[in-house]
Amino acid sequence: MAKATRKKDFDYFDYFCQCAQSICQAAAYLHESLSAFEHDAFLGRMDKMHQIENQADCAKHDMTQRLVHEFITPIEREDIFALAQQMDNVVDAIDDVMRRAYMYDLRQIRPDALKFTDLIVRCTQQLSDVLCEFRNFKTSPTIREKIVAVNTLESDGDMLHARCYHELYANDSTPTRTLMVWSNMFEDLESCLDACEDAVDIIESVIMKNT
């Protein structure tokens, strides 16, 4: 009788790297969409961003189905699921910015918003570096400094958030609608950076438990 072929183990760390690509793709597309903002074309851009978000959801679903039936995992299955969920949250947060811009029917983009999207691009790139180095977390000489880099960019985002609010409210003649719209936009933009930091916090927790 022929020997049964052993089913290949699922590579969870490779899955994390693939998710990192989706995160970076979403961040870059957000920055591009707001930098080259065209009101009449924005619905199409929002739809494309939703496709990126949907692909990330599908990848997470496939991984979760595999995780349910996996006997042995490289780290605790609860940590795998928590990190997968948080990476999905990052893409969702970026998608939320696009949806908010469409819902509010923005006609122009404030320059300080582009400073935020540039920071989000850089933060997601650093997060990607962490996720792709995660495979070697027990021996990596650089993963901790990459985690700190994400934390630093999130802190930069806190400062930028405060400056954006200050500039928004400094002029007493700013219309109420503008105050409401951009207050919410800046909250959503900051949430993207917060989501990145939450992801590396999970990774740091895994490192502490396993080293």
Residue 53 in any domain: the answer is yes
- The domain spanning residue 76 has which CATH number? 1.20.58.220
Judge whether 5 lies within some domain: no
The total number of structural domains that make up the chain: 1
CA neighbor of 196 nearest in space, from 38, 31, 20, 76: 20
Asked whether residue 133 is domain-assigned, the answer is yes
Cα Rg, the chain, nearest whole Å: 19
Note whether residue 69 is domain-resident.
yes
**Is 3 domain-assigned?**
no
Half-sphere exposure of residue 73: CA atoms within 13 angstroms, side-chain side: 16
* Full pLDDT tens readout for the chain, 211 residues: 444 444 567 899 999 999 999 999 999 999 999 999 999 999 999 999 999 999 999 999 999 998 988 888 999 999 999 999 999 999 999 999 999 999 999 999 999 999 999 999 999 999 999 999 999 999 999 999 999 999 999 999 999 999 999 999 998 899 999 999 999 999 999 999 999 999 999 999 999 998 7
Distance of CA 27 to the CA centre of its chain: 7
Q: Is residue 81 part of a domain?
A: yes
Domain that holds residue 138: 12-210
CA 57 and chain centroid, separation: 13
